[in-house]
Structure 1
Amino acid sequence: MNTTAQSRLAQIKDFLTMNKTASAIPFDPNSTKFPRRKDVPQAKYGPEGVPTAWVWGENDMVGRLNLLTPTRVKAAASSEIKTGDMVPINWSLNHPETPAFARESFEHKIKTLAENIAYDDVYHLNTQSGTQWDGFRHFAWVPTGSFYNNTHGSDIIGEKANDKCSIHHWANHGIAGRGVLLDYRSYCDKKGIAFDSYQAERISYADLEACGKEQGFDIRPQAQGGDIQVGDLLFIRSGFIRTYFSKSQEERKRLALRPHQLGPDDGQRYAGVKQEEPMIDWLHDCYFAAVAGDSPTFEAWPTNQDYHLHEYLLALWGCPLGEMVDLERLSEMCKEKKRWTFFVTSAPANVPGGVGSHVNGTAIF
């Protein structure tokens, strides 16, 4: 069936079901149905042979944050905020003391304006050194060297640098909606599964599916009969932060300073989600507004494929990617409440030209 016929059939089905299908690019974020990865049409301005890329329009700067429409945000607040309990999901800025990948440590100084009367803070930090959002300028689609929506290195740094796809666009849009926690580390604890946060342990789609079942949560998208709603913000707890604090300061430093080189022999090794087709399909087809984990890399590092999930999430789909989000207290609250969804807000830094930001997030029950 050709594209025109498919579009016409979708229109007829929408009329009968009162739905609205995103069948043509640019997608309308107010749509109620979105195509699976295998059915996404090719954007005329997208990278050739990659039909899932840049579906929100060639001038878009916020990617899947478009899915956080007023209707979805209002519905999430109504359904999820019941008791008003708040759980911050930010690690303190001085952790980790020694960041991975040779990143700069956080520095905090107090500036005296008038002794005993007024003081200021002075921070020096790398936005990738702790709880963080990877922005669209952080990681490119490697085969073409293209960042989200045809952004290039020359847009980011140099004489022609500009604000294309910078983090301030997220700040101006806002991040708020329904959060979902898949507590994989608690699942491992319950099942007696050994798991090392400082090795490239790979969490597969099947693993997350089993974790969801243990929680009483179907991780399939709602369009396929599951519990994931369009625009959800996904959080996966691997237990990195718990493991971090279980080690001495000297051991944490040694692990953070393992030699770094791109490729399978990288000494920097961290647990995370697995690079595999089922995972790519799931992350795409759920239409998450953002995804995040508690490890330094979200995906298992180093990759065991010729691609990184960062490429798909950031460069192709425009899906914000969070790392080292503190999910320890959130895990305990979810267990106490016996629910794995909540309202969540995040305030990225309003920095024109910025690459990333600390999350500045709060979950509300």
Structure 2
Amino acid sequence: MTASPAGSAAPRLSADQFEALFRRLREGVTFGAHDRRGALNHLTPAHVAAAAGEIRAGIAVSLANDIRHREAADNPKPARHQMIGPITPGRTPGDLQFAQDQFAMNVHGDAETHIDALCHVIYHGTLYNGVPASEVREDGAHQLSIDTAHDGIVGRGVLLDIAHARGEPWLELGDHVTADDLLAAEKAQDVRAGEGDLVFIRVGHQARRRERGDWTAAKARVGLHPNAVELLADRHIALLGGDGNSDSAPSLVEGVDFPVHVLAINALGLHLIDYLQLEDLHDHCVRLGRWSFFCTVAPLRLPGATGSPVNPIAVL
């Protein structure tokens, strides 16, 4: 594994270099030809039971952003919320009425917190573990949909706070996170991400948005350098999330717009959570002086879907 010093300019990868990295990571997955759970296999019942010991202060914290219904630079197709059963005026107080509503959303946008299923990324005509792309059809994904995680993902969460480790409120656009950044955050926080962990990486995306306002995140975003994925693969983590979408924009790879998504989802079978809200968790971790916690992630039960809105909960 190669890495650049924390905060330094790591090199772009050529198409050939990226293909070599992709093959190396894919060949390291040894769950068998019929596997459909991917990196969730690293999360065993023993890991889940041990994670309960992370609950000490009894503080529950949401890691999700609000679902936004107004158009913005980073949310050109906002969720739609409609009241379908408003209270009818003129009724007597004793009448029974129900307030009702419905909503629709673009699951894979740049604003709402969502989890990507293993059917989300098609690369070289296949999904994770060589499943043919033809398994994603008009009626949904017939394999590797978010239904793979319908029992939830529960385990030890680890926050690697890159912005905090660098002493900055956020990483500025044009920057990215290297493997050495991850190691430096572990050292600064006295924590180590390991097998079966749910790893969350904070670059300060939401803090910047609150302070500076929205921007076109599809074109300018801080994420991981693709080489950093190799460190996470070596650690056998079970899930990866970030307050951006884990990929830098513009891309650091020639000809591949979302290289981290390709490496994580397609090569490793690693579910990604995009656009987390990690500011509240950051505050609690700083105050308590600890960066690991019990965590539960509960996707909606949506057989055939390529992802799901999600509200992860950390319990410290």
TM (norm. structure 1) is: 0.71
Is contact 1:275–1:300 with CA below 8 Å preserved after alignment? no
Residue type of the alignment partner of 1:238: V
Distance 1:74 1:291, change over 3 A: same
Any unmatched runs of 5+ in structure 2? Answer: 1-22, 89-95
- Between stretches 282-291 and 144-153, larger displacement belongs to 144-153
1:328 Cα shift? Answer: 0.3
Q: Deviations over 1:74-118 (max 9, x none)?
A: 1111x2011211001110011784364x76211111111763710
Structure 2 residue 139 is the aligned partner of structure 1 residue 165: no
Of 174, 183, 187, 1:209 maps to 183
Distance 1:193 1:121, change over 3 A: closer
Of 196, 219, 229, 2:194 maps to 229
1:194 Cα shift? Answer: 7.7
Q: Deviations over 1:199-258 (max 9, x none)?
A: 2311111122222222223xxxxxxxxx3321001011100001111124xxx2xx32x8
1:71 corresponding residue in structure 2: 46
Is contact 1:52–1:316 with CA below 8 Å preserved after alignment? no
1:353 corresponding residue in structure 2: 304
Structure 2 residue 90 is the aligned partner of structure 1 residue 110: no
Distance 1:193 1:105, change over 3 A: closer
1:341 corresponding residue in structure 2: 292
Is contact 1:292–1:298 with CA below 8 Å preserved after alignment? yes
1:298 corresponding residue in structure 2: 246
Structure 2 residue 246 is the aligned partner of structure 1 residue 270: no
Residue type of the alignment partner of 2:46: T
Matches within 5 A, 1:172-251: 172=151, 174-188=152-166, 190=167, 195-196=171-172, 199-217=173-191, 227-248=192-213
Aligned length: 283
1:290 Cα shift? Answer: 0.3
Q: Considering only aligned residues, what root-mean-square deviation do their CA atoms show, in Å?
A: 2.6
Residue type of the alignment partner of 2:41: N
Secondary structure of the corresponding residue to residue 100 of structure 2: strand
Secondary structure of the corresponding residue to residue 242 of structure 1: helix
Partners of 1:269 and 1:312 in 2: how far apart? 20
Structure 2 residue 234 is the aligned partner of structure 1 residue 285: yes
Distance 1:316 1:194, change over 3 A: closer
Residue type of the alignment partner of 1:180: V
Q: Deviations over 1:166-193 (max 9, x none)?
A: 1111113x200000001111223x2x69
Partners of 2:135 and 2:67 in 1: how far apart? 29
Distance 1:72 1:48, change over 3 A: closer
Distance 1:193 1:162, change over 3 A: closer
1:360 Cα shift? Answer: 1.8
Is contact 1:275–1:303 with CA below 8 Å preserved after alignment? no
The alignment-based identity, stated in percent, is 28
Partners of 1:273 and 1:95 in 2: how far apart? 29
2:117 corresponding residue in structure 1: 135
Partners of 1:283 and 1:245 in 2: how far apart? 29
Matches within 5 A, 1:1-40: none
Is contact 1:99–1:105 with CA below 8 Å preserved after alignment? no
- Which has the higher relative contact order, 1 or 2, with Cα contacts under 8 A spaced 6 or more apart? 2
Partners of 2:229 and 2:208 in 1: how far apart? 27
1:23 corresponding residue in structure 2: none
Distance 1:194 1:238, change over 3 A: closer
Secondary structure of the corresponding residue to residue 318 of structure 1: coil
Partners of 1:69 and 1:322 in 2: how far apart? 20
Residue type of the alignment partner of 1:184: I
Q: Deviations over 1:322-365 (max 9, x none)?
A: 11111000000101111000000010111111001122210001
Is contact 2:113–2:274 with CA below 8 Å preserved after alignment? yes
Partners of 1:287 and 1:66 in 2: how far apart? 9
TM (norm. structure 2) is: 0.82
Partners of 2:169 and 2:87 in 1: how far apart? 56
